[in-house]
Amino acid sequence: MKNKRLIGVLAALALLVIGIIVYQSLSSQNQKSSQSDTFKVGVLQYVSHNALDEIYRGIKAGMKEEGYSGKKIKIDFMNAEGDQSKVQTMSQTLVNHKNDVLIGIATPAAQGLASATKDTPIVMGAVTDPVGAKLVKNLKKPDGNVTGVSDKTPIKAQVDLVKTLTPKVKTIGVIYSSSEDNSKSQVAEFKKRAEKKGYEVLEYSVPSTNEIATTMNVMLEKADAVWIPLDNTIASAFPTVVSAAKAAKKPIYPSVDTMVNEGGLASVVVDQYELGVATGKMAVKLFEGKNVSDLPVNIFDKGTPVVNKKVAKELGITIPADVLKKTKNK
Ligand code: TRP
């Protein structure tokens, strides 16, 4: 009798324990699946300028198009404001936050993230020269944890545009930041192509935005026109470049539409928003289970001409009808 009661109590206890274990494991599974339903994405933007801001808008839109908005996504956004030490600490913070995927907008941001983790997948948002920046070795089949979108503006078409719009130009001054790997390769290509067409190219690199004004003044004593690569430092202080060129009555050929709108003369450009949309969609693919090596770097290299008619008028430049016909900003 006593034994039976004991067995009964033990059996009840055992059932209780099993019940608790089953309940706990079920509820922890629930927790896990609701956690992995939410896409945790860390975004590091290198600096604020209109083009990068536009890319970030595109990134959010691209992720939303794939169904990631509202409660389905948690965006951990940081902006390093062009400060290299912030790039490092913010990259580390975004890794520590255990985001599922990381996005670096512009080369220095992608480089910061890549040196902070070799595990979490990283998507480059608009990195001009992923190989030169040592972010990817094989563009077709990325081998590390980094893939993404590359903006290779059509430099040949830009040189041709200088010839078409300003046939009298002989010497072109180039201003860029000495610390941006993206600019180095663009400047080398521009120099090669422009010299082939008979131009003299004068290069001026600046260590920071502080030197832009004086450098522009030195440059404009010799150069007939200014060409600017996709350089974040110059883009973030572009009004300084514009006011110097305006005073000297010389045209600026930037590499992006936002800088044409802000006072450049003309360019052949890649759409910034679309770069962002493609970046956002790639991040979603990684979250949904694709591997970095399944996703080749997406290269945008076809451009559309853009012209600032107000600046053309101020400089007394007539835009030929066939160029105007092709431009994006009618
Ligand atoms: N391609 C640049 C990089 O590799 C980033 C960038 C995108 C950019 N659009 C731009 C820089 C427009 C200046 C202007 O870092």
Structure tokens at 122: 């990283």
Specify which of 2-16, 24-38, 245-259 reaches the highest per-range mean pLDDT: 245-259
pLDDT digits (tens, 9 = 90+) for 92-144: 999 999 999 999 999 999 999 999 999 999 999 999 999 999 999 999 999 99
More confident call, 174 vs 4: 174
Which phi and psi angles does 292 have, rounded to 5°?
Answer: -55, -40
- Predicted local distance difference test score (pLDDT) of residue 90: 98
* Residue spans of alpha helices (H) in 74-211: 84-96, 107-116, 155-165, 181-196
Q: Determine the pLDDT at residue 21.
A: 65
Question: What pTM, to 2 d.p., does this model score?
Answer: 0.89
Identity of the amino acid at 233: T
Answer whether 278's CB lies under 8 Å from 64's CB: no
Q: Render the burial of 237-271: b for 16+ CB within 10 Å, e for the rest.
A: bbebbbebbeebebbbbbbbbbbbebbbbbbbbbb
Q: Which residue has the higher pLDDT, 65 or 27?
A: 65
Question: Interhelix angle for 107-116 vs 84-96, to 10°?
Answer: 50
Atom 9 (ligand 1) nearest CA:
51
Q: Does 267 sit in the ligand 1 pocket, CB within 6 Å?
A: no
pLDDT digits (tens, 9 = 90+) for 235-252: 999 999 999 999 999 999
Going by alpha carbons, the residue nearest to atom 7 of ligand 1 is 126
Q: State CA 296 to chain mean position distance.
A: 16
Domains of the chain and any CATH numbers: 39-152+272-299 (3.40.50.2300), 155-269+304-326 (3.40.50.2300)
pLDDT at 136: 98
Asked if 205 contacts 176 with a C-beta cutoff of 8 angstroms, the reply is yes
Q: Tell whether ligand 1 has an atom less than 6 A from the beta carbon of residue 51.
A: yes
Share of the chain residues as helix, strand and coil, in percent rounded to the nearest 5: 50, 20, 30
Measure the CA dihedral 77/82/88/93, to 10°.
-20
Structural Rg of the chain based on CA atoms: 26
User: Could you tell me the distance, in angstroms and rounded to a whole number, from the CA of residue 268 to the centre of ligand 1?
Assistant: 14
